[in-house]
Amino acid sequence: MPVTVVVGAQWGDEGKAKVIDLLAKEHPVVARYQGGHNAGHTVVVGNEKYALQLTPSGVFYDSVTPVIANGVVVDLPTLFNEIDTLTSRGINCDKLKVSTRAHLIFPWHQSHDALAEEARGDHKIGTTLKGIGPAYADKSRRVGIQAGAVADIDSFAAAVRQRCESENVLITQAGGVPVDVDETVTRFTDLGRRLQPYLCDTVNFLHDELANGSAILLEGAQATFLDLDHGTYPYVTSSNPTAGGACAGTGLGPRDIDRVVGITKSYTTRVGAGPFPTELTDELGERLVDIGREFGTVTGRRRRAGWLDCVMLRHAVRLNSLTELAVTKLDVLDSFETIRVCTGYRIDGKEVANYPDLPEVLDRAEPVYTELAGWQCDSTNARTSDDLPLQAHALIRLIEEQVGVSVRIIGVGAERDDYVLWGSQA
Ligand code: GDP
Ligand code: IMO
Ligand code: MG
């Protein structure tokens, strides 16, 4: 049926891109709906590894039209770098469509991002420094420049100059280095010309595709607990990755969506600061990082790691209307003797079932764990449920029971074909 949303159910990097690559076979249109080049979406095809920041993860199929919808903030240097790299590796990006309403990121956004992080001292968010927050702030302040502005390149150049000059006043006041106005205007005028053929009224495009019977896949970046409204504020990103954001970010309506796939690792990771109740700061955490290769796709930063948290996942079901889960990186647990799953929190001595709404309360949450035996064998060659060890069956069943939605896809390796359709028989 028509529209599927893929959303991260934790703090990002759950393996969304791999699942999107898999589902893209049945969805002729794949659209990114929020975020920008703070995302790092990895698809591994044979020996080739692709890390996408802006291009939708369906780009590897000729049958797919990739769309950057209105809710995305677009960094043109990154976009064209990515298009050039993909093209040089034999991936055709000619069908890519960029919404006229998507807002553009400029160098002054990156300067503001860095200055704001600097000013936070010991309370840094640990942003990707890509200018995402300041670009969305400009959109909200109604001073942003939309992609469609490049259609009239002279007035676009004038707008870039005017914005750059006025932002330089603020950057200088904050002790930063002003952006080179002439260089920026020249560079972005060239990039703007290059953007022209990709521009599209993506709202009407998506609705026309829907009317013509095409299935559409909406690709979330970041994740539920990095959501500006529902995440661990202020340690969040500046957009709405939750499924509701997919409507605002594409112009499709809530009733167009009928499938919402939440992606979770078989454990939890987080990059950047903020509360993390099941974090492991001991040797077990090190093992998850080492085996799971938990280093940021975009920034190379080491991710924090801990056990799976079903309190979070239950909240993710509420926030996103999840219809199913995909559990990735099951193989990372292959060598663990015992596996823990958080099924509740104890706060001030009392057990609570719901996810707390205040970060200071979340900071005091002590996880309540259910312990399972590990399987201690290689799961990476499993292709059906029957191939998975019984202990892994027990883990998946516990997740389903705790979270209240079915698991459909299980990841057992990074490569495109390393997955099990849960419930499938040999
Ligand atoms: P995304 O941002 O949610 O798309 O995820 P990332 O690409 O940032 O991070 C996920 C990482 O895990 C990537 O390096 C993937 O290649 C890798 N990956 C995805 N699924 C699996 C899996 O099932 N097993 C293993 N071992 N790696 C996986
Ligand atoms: P994908 O799509 C993990 C985190 C940053 C920081 C916070 C705010 O690959 O899952 P920002 O630059 O957005 O203002 O940073 O959000 N963050 C991510 N963490 N995966 C991501 O994207 C992320 N995008 C942003 O580390 O804590
Ligand atoms: Mg990522």
225 domain-assigned: yes
Half-sphere exposure of 269 (CA within 13 A, CB side): 29
Q: 351: CA distance to ligand 3 center in Å? A: 33
Pick from 160, 195, 230: which residue ends a domain?
Answer: 195
pLDDT for residue 59 is more than 80: yes
- Asked whether residue 20 falls in the same domain as residue 46, the answer is yes
- Asked whether residue 45 falls in the same domain as residue 65, the answer is yes
Contact between residue 103 and residue 74 where contact means Cβ atoms under 8 Å apart? yes
Pick from 161, 195, 229: which residue ends a domain?
Answer: 195
User: What count of other Cβ atoms lies within 10 Å of the Cβ of residue 342?
Assistant: 23
User: Considering the chain, what is the average pLDDT of its residues?
Assistant: 97
Q: 17: CA distance to ligand 3 center in Å? A: 8
31 domain-assigned: yes
pLDDT value at residue 184: 98
pLDDT for residue 298 is more than 90: no
Give the residue whose CA is nearest to atom 26 of ligand 1. 413
- Asked whether residue 320 falls in the same domain as residue 222, the answer is no
User: What count of other Cβ atoms lies within 10 Å of the Cβ of residue 394?
Assistant: 14
Mean per-residue pLDDT, 342-358: 93
Q: Is 103 a catalytic residue?
A: no
pLDDT band for 25, please (50, 70, 90 cuts). Answer: very high
pLDDT band for 126, please (50, 70, 90 cuts). Answer: very high
pLDDT for residue 425 is more than 90: no
- Asked whether residue 217 falls in the same domain as residue 72, the answer is yes
pLDDT in tens, 64-81: 999 999 999 999 999 999
- Asked whether residue 94 falls in the same domain as residue 147, the answer is no
| Domain, as residue range, for 135 | 103-195
Q: Total structural domains in the chain? A: 3
CA dihedral in degrees (169, 174, 175, 177; nearest 10)? -50
pLDDT value at residue 16: 98
- Asked whether residue 276 falls in the same domain as residue 319, the answer is yes
From the CA of 412, the nearest ligand is: 1
Q: 328: CA distance to ligand 2 center in Å? A: 19
pLDDT in tens, 88-111: 999 999 999 999 999 999 999 999
426 domain-assigned: no
pLDDT band for 1, please (50, 70, 90 cuts). Answer: low
With a Cβ cut-off of 6 Å, ligand 1 is lined by 8, 12-18, 40-42, 44, 297, 328-329, 331-332, 411-414, 418
Q: Which of 20-34, 72-86, 349-363, 398-412 has the lowest mean pLDDT?
A: 349-363
- Asked whether residue 143 falls in the same domain as residue 177, the answer is yes
> By C-alpha distance, which of 382, 284, 297 is closest to 14?
297
Q: Which of 18, 264, 294 to mutate to test the pocket of ligand 1 (most atoms within 8 A of CB)?
A: 18
- Asked whether residue 40 falls in the same domain as residue 108, the answer is no
Mean per-residue pLDDT, 366-377: 98
Residue among 41, 109, 112, 230 flagged as catalytic: 41
Phi-psi sector, 423: left (phi>0), alpha (psi -120 to 50), beta: left
CATH number at 408 reads 3.90.170.10
**Which residues are registered as beta bridge partners of 411?**
419
Q: 222: CA distance to ligand 2 center in Å? A: 6
89 domain-assigned: yes
Distant-in-sequence, close-in-space partners of 253: CB < 8 Å, separation ≥ 6? 247
59 domain-assigned: yes
- Please, is 94 exposed, middle or buried when counting C-beta atoms within 10 Å of its C-beta (0-12, 13-18, 19+)? exposed
Of all atoms in ligand 2, which is nearest to the CA of residue 127?
Answer: 15
pLDDT value at residue 359: 86
9 domain-assigned: yes
- Asked whether residue 409 falls in the same domain as residue 372, the answer is yes
How much is the pTM? 0.97
- Asked whether residue 209 falls in the same domain as residue 166, the answer is no
Mean per-residue pLDDT, 252-263: 97
Mean per-residue pLDDT, 122-126: 95
- Asked whether residue 14 falls in the same domain as residue 79, the answer is yes
377 domain-assigned: yes
Give the residue whose CA is nearest to atom 28 of ligand 1. 414
Q: What is the Cα–Cα distance from 211 to 5, expressed in whole angstroms?
A: 18
Q: 298: CA distance to ligand 2 center in Å? A: 9
Q: Is 393 a catalytic residue?
A: no
- Asked whether residue 254 falls in the same domain as residue 350, the answer is no
Pick from 176, 195, 214: which residue ends a domain?
Answer: 195
> By C-alpha distance, which of 97, 18, 10 is closest to 410?
18
CATH number at 255 reads 3.40.440.10
Mean per-residue pLDDT, 299-328: 97
322 domain-assigned: yes
CATH number at 177 reads 1.10.300.10
Q: What is the Cα–Cα distance from 340 to 337, expressed in whole angstroms?
A: 10
pLDDT in tens, 163-220: 999 999 999 999 999 999 999 999 999 999 999 999 999 999 999 999 999 999 999 9
From the CA of 295, the nearest ligand is: 1
Cα dihedral 334, 339, 341, 345 sign: negative
pLDDT value at residue 423: 84
Give the residue whose CA is nearest to atom 26 of ligand 2. 272
Of all atoms in ligand 1, which is nearest to the CA of residue 292?
Answer: 26
